Structure 1
Amino acid sequence: MTLPVARRIRWLPSQWPADAAGRRNMALLVQLRWIAIAGQLVTILIVHHGMDIHLPLTSMLVVPCIAALMNIGSLMVLRRRADITHAELFLALLFDVLALTTQLYLSGGATNPFLSLYLVQVALGAVLLHRWSVWGIVAASSLCAAMLSFAYRPLDLSDRLEGHLFDLHIIGTWICLVMIAVLVVLFMTQMTRNLQQRDSYLARLRQQAVEEEHIVRMGLLASGAAHELGTPLAQLAVVLGDWRHMPQIRQDPALVEEVEEMEAAVRRCKSILTGILMSAGEARGEAPQATDVRSFIESIARDWRAAVPGMPLRSDFGPHDYPRIVADPVIRQAVTNLLDNAREAGATYVNMMVSRDSQWLHIAVRDNGRGFSPEMLADFGKPYRSSKGRQGGGLGLFLVVNVVRKLGGRVDASNGADGGAMVLLRLPFATLALDEDRHDD
């Protein structure tokens, strides 16, 4: 059974893009609105019943109810979406400005000491919004505050409070100042952290774009070299075939053995070139095969043992049932690169350990070589970082990391406690397993 080379990558929920600062900031605005709703209810009840200041309770309680409905709608949106747009954040802040304006209008207008709460909305807008949107929040807050200076419902004060109005205003101003300070520190600190995480994510994306451009250039060079090397290798195969039929060579067992070794080397080179062309999507008449994990790994180990005779390689499989997968040539090449890297690092034996969990296939390559230096571990997967001191080294691990990353997986490297190194590939079944096996899992 053959499958087309081009396959659509399916992402797991845990692999969704990390650029969700807007979503996290909207969640913080929802939290802030819940705090505002609770604060309004407590303040209204204390002022109306405890301080004997008669407020329009029905009208003032409608605003927290509308804000609660707004929060419920926002939470429903947050559950369905991975990110929130800039316009939605702007409208959410504008709603809070209008809700605050309504409450101030019903409770004394500009004479209310809580007028300064407009500054919280302006400060949040300065962190979350673009320049034009921030000035929109500033303009809306300024216009609402100006309107409240002449259009508002006066407070209905009892006779015993008439002489203490200024004292009440001072106390309310102090409470408002403390609220602003606490809210700004708590929420703006978290929002700034969200924005920093977004900037870090964008920086990683830019770095990945640079690395992938580097891979594209290398792929073009490799593909071109593979095409150019095909002709001389074919000529070598023809010449070696002719040599095997020459009487003077057939009569010498040593020469026959050497010719056979050269033919094996030519076949190995042709196999490598075929793999390069398949990875580039240029192979004709060949496609990734549907197979099981054990057969796929054992075929990699068998081919590597044939290419590197004398190097012990053991394949260990955990006690699991493995689904059928698409045997992508790039995965074969990635694992082969790790085996070659272990041999070149001075290892005298290599272990390939395979296991799985509900979502991931784990392939670990463990050796007893000299291991990774601390600098190599810190720069693992970056191009031209190699412990072999060879010009152009380090590209093998660089390609492994990027191939696995493109498949939605990850690569981890570490040193063993008793020496040697281990590189662990984590590949998601969401991109490897066939549809029928994926549903079974």
Structure 2
Amino acid sequence: MLQLIQLRWLAVSGQLLTIGVVHFGFGITLPLGTMALVLAVLVLLNLVSHFWLRRQAEVSSSALFLALTFDVAALTAQLYLSGGPTNPFISLYLLQVTLAAVLLDVRRAWVLVAITSACVLGLTLQYRPLELPSHLADDLFRLHLQGLLVCFILDAALLVVFVTRINGNLRARDANLAHMRQQAAEADHIVRMGLLASGAAHELGTPLSTVSVILGDWRRMEALRSMPDLLQEIDEMQVAVERCKAIVSGILLSAGEARGEAPVVTLANTFLRELVEDWRITRPAATVTWDSSLDRDLEIIADRALKQVLFNVLDNAYECSGLPIRLSAFQQDANLVLEVSDKGPGFAPDMLAEFGKPYRSSKGRTGGGLGLFLVVNVVRKLGGSVTARNRPEGGATVTLTLPLAALAIEGSAGHAA
């Protein structure tokens, strides 16, 4: 529709110029009042179209058909007032037909062909002849050829410019549809993985509880109390089992199977500090530091999904580099920004190009890359985004941008629903 509005402005300007040249330059008498009224209607139509387009989310094929029909009617009126079929600009109908073929569905395009054909037929039967001055009467054929040349150049230029723009819009639409289909496929992949993880969590719950009971019994056995090394290993095993049970509970909670408890509100800095401490327990050999410039009173929901997302990013940074990791948090406008930086080798160019795609991993493992794939999709569900870049001084930075509204009580409740 914007292309049609721009074309209409050009049509108004071109008609003003042509009418001025013909009437005042060549001395050919034209009904200036009536032709000016047609131009005024086109200007009014453009202004209404601009106002309507601002309030409209999308433009239907019927609206485009109606706009093209108005343009055909205006062209027919101007041609009727200026010589009808003898006017060389009658070939401008082909521009309208071409636009209809590009923009409209087949049925409406053929209807517009029928309308333009009827207009041309009507002009051959009824029109206002041009009143040529005597000094042009003998040179009418040459003037007609000059008009045809100007009309051809105008037709060709407008077709190239506007059809190229329209095709660009159509390609952008197709690319957007392909991107949406890709997101839908990834969401389906997430659902299938979630069902698998939820089923596995249910299956693991019973054996983990059994192992925990057995370890507790071993801890109380008289024969093992004299073996401090073995008791220490039993304690470590108990911690590992409890960690596995917590992961299983987190999976079930994220799957929506343990929503009975009220959402926990905490300070953002407290959430991040506890998160880093919990991650250090699972990675005792890792070195991680964190800094925050967030408001000390900033409150968020202690979302388990967000915690798991950050665990995945930290795990990926540690496994890729094994070097010190830094977590930074700050507020940017209405967003919470979290940056995880490492001093490792960084991302390969092909990894950056397909960041967050499943099964794209630099770790050389089958099924690798799912961690970052889940990170990108969970953050996207929260209304945020994830980006990655290589640092000039070495290493990489993964940036998570999350709208604070999604981490508030109302936002999290809506997300859970």
Quick one: structure 1 residues 165 and 322, their matched pair in 2 at CA, closer, same or farther if it must change by over 3 Å?
A: farther
Question: What is the deviation of 1:89?
Answer: 1.3
More deviation, 217-226/372-381: 372-381
* Residue of structure 2 equivalent to 1:368: 343
* Residue of structure 1 equivalent to 2:188: 213
Question: What is the deviation of 1:100?
Answer: 0.7
Question: What is the deviation of 1:213?
Answer: 1.3
Q: Report the secondary structure of 1:149's partner residue.
A: helix
1:306 counterpart = 2:281: yes
1:381 counterpart = 2:356: yes
In the alignment, residue 325 of structure 1 is paired with which amino acid?
I
Q: Which of 157, 179, 192 in structure 2 is aligned with 1:182? A: 157
Quick one: structure 1 residues 344 and 287, their matched pair in 2 at CA, closer, same or farther if it must change by over 3 Å?
A: farther
Quick one: structure 1 residues 51 and 359, their matched pair in 2 at CA, closer, same or farther if it must change by over 3 Å?
A: farther
Any conservation in 2 of the 1:324–1:434 contact (CA below 8 Å)? no
Q: Which of 92, 96, 104 in structure 1 is aligned with 2:79? A: 104
* Residue of structure 2 equivalent to 1:249: 224
1:120 counterpart = 2:95: yes
Unaligned runs of 5+ residues in structure 1 are 1-25, 437-441
* Residue of structure 2 equivalent to 1:338: 313
* Residue of structure 1 equivalent to 2:267: 292
Any conservation in 1 of the 2:294–2:329 contact (CA below 8 Å)? no
1:259 counterpart = 2:259: no
Question: What is the deviation of 1:323?
Answer: 4.3
In the alignment, residue 351 of structure 1 is paired with which amino acid?
R
1:346-373 Cα distance to aligned partner (Å, 9 max, x none)? 3221111112211332211111223222
More deviation, 100-109/239-248: 239-248
* Residue of structure 2 equivalent to 1:19: none
* Residue of structure 2 equivalent to 1:17: none
1:253-308 Cα distance to aligned partner (Å, 9 max, x none)? 32332222112111111111121112211124335433333222222212101221
* Inter-partner Cα distance in structure 2 for 1:49 and 1:351: 76
1:208-232 Cα distance to aligned partner (Å, 9 max, x none)? 2222211111110000001111111
1:158-188 Cα distance to aligned partner (Å, 9 max, x none)? 3333222222212211111111111112111
Give the count of matched residue pairs. 411
1:269 counterpart = 2:244: yes
Any conservation in 2 of the 1:347–1:370 contact (CA below 8 Å)? no
* Inter-partner Cα distance in structure 2 for 1:163 and 1:286: 96
Q: Which of 255, 276, 291 in structure 2 is aligned with 1:316? A: 291
Q: Which of 157, 167, 177 in structure 2 is aligned with 1:202? A: 177
More deviation, 350-359/214-223: 350-359
* Inter-partner Cα distance in structure 2 for 1:120 and 1:264: 76
Query: TM-score if structure 2 supplies the norm length?
Result: 0.93
* Residue of structure 2 equivalent to 1:73: 48
In the alignment, residue 133 of structure 1 is paired with which amino acid?
R
1:51 counterpart = 2:26: yes
Quick one: structure 1 residues 290 and 56, their matched pair in 2 at CA, closer, same or farther if it must change by over 3 Å?
A: farther
Q: Report the secondary structure of 1:157's partner residue.
A: coil
Any conservation in 1 of the 2:286–2:324 contact (CA below 8 Å)? yes
Any conservation in 1 of the 2:341–2:395 contact (CA below 8 Å)? yes
Any conservation in 2 of the 1:237–1:263 contact (CA below 8 Å)? yes
* Residue of structure 1 equivalent to 2:414: none
1:139-169 Cα distance to aligned partner (Å, 9 max, x none)? 2111111111111111222333322222221
1:417 counterpart = 2:385: no
Any conservation in 1 of the 2:313–2:340 contact (CA below 8 Å)? yes
1:171 counterpart = 2:146: yes
Q: Report the secondary structure of 2:115's partner residue.
A: helix
* Inter-partner Cα distance in structure 2 for 1:142 and 1:322: 72
* Residue of structure 2 equivalent to 1:7: none
* Inter-partner Cα distance in structure 1 for 2:330 and 2:290: 11
* Residue of structure 1 equivalent to 2:62: 87
Question: What is the deviation of 1:200?
Answer: 0.8
In the alignment, residue 94 of structure 1 is paired with which amino acid?
T
Question: What is the deviation of 1:243?
Answer: 2.4
* Inter-partner Cα distance in structure 1 for 2:392 and 2:240: 37
* % same residue: 53
* Inter-partner Cα distance in structure 1 for 2:254 and 2:346: 29
* Inter-partner Cα distance in structure 1 for 2:264 and 2:131: 82
* Inter-partner Cα distance in structure 2 for 1:294 and 1:376: 31
Q: Report the secondary structure of 1:60's partner residue.
A: helix
In the alignment, residue 412 of structure 1 is paired with which amino acid?
T
Any conservation in 1 of the 2:294–2:331 contact (CA below 8 Å)? no
* Inter-partner Cα distance in structure 2 for 1:122 and 1:204: 32
Any conservation in 1 of the 2:99–2:163 contact (CA below 8 Å)? yes
Any conservation in 2 of the 1:315–1:351 contact (CA below 8 Å)? yes
* Inter-partner Cα distance in structure 2 for 1:429 and 1:153: 68
Q: Report the secondary structure of 1:388's partner residue.
A: coil
In the alignment, residue 405 of structure 1 is paired with which amino acid?
R
In the alignment, residue 361 of structure 1 is paired with which amino acid?
L
**Aligned residues: CA RMSD:** 2.0
* Inter-partner Cα distance in structure 2 for 1:313 and 1:391: 27
In the alignment, residue 339 of structure 1 is paired with which amino acid?
L
More deviation, 267-276/365-374: 365-374
Any conservation in 2 of the 1:300–1:332 contact (CA below 8 Å)? yes
* Inter-partner Cα distance in structure 2 for 1:322 and 1:71: 52
Any conservation in 2 of the 1:323–1:433 contact (CA below 8 Å)? no
Question: What is the deviation of 1:434?
Answer: 5.2
Q: Report the secondary structure of 2:258's partner residue.
A: coil
Question: What is the deviation of 1:73?
Answer: 1.4
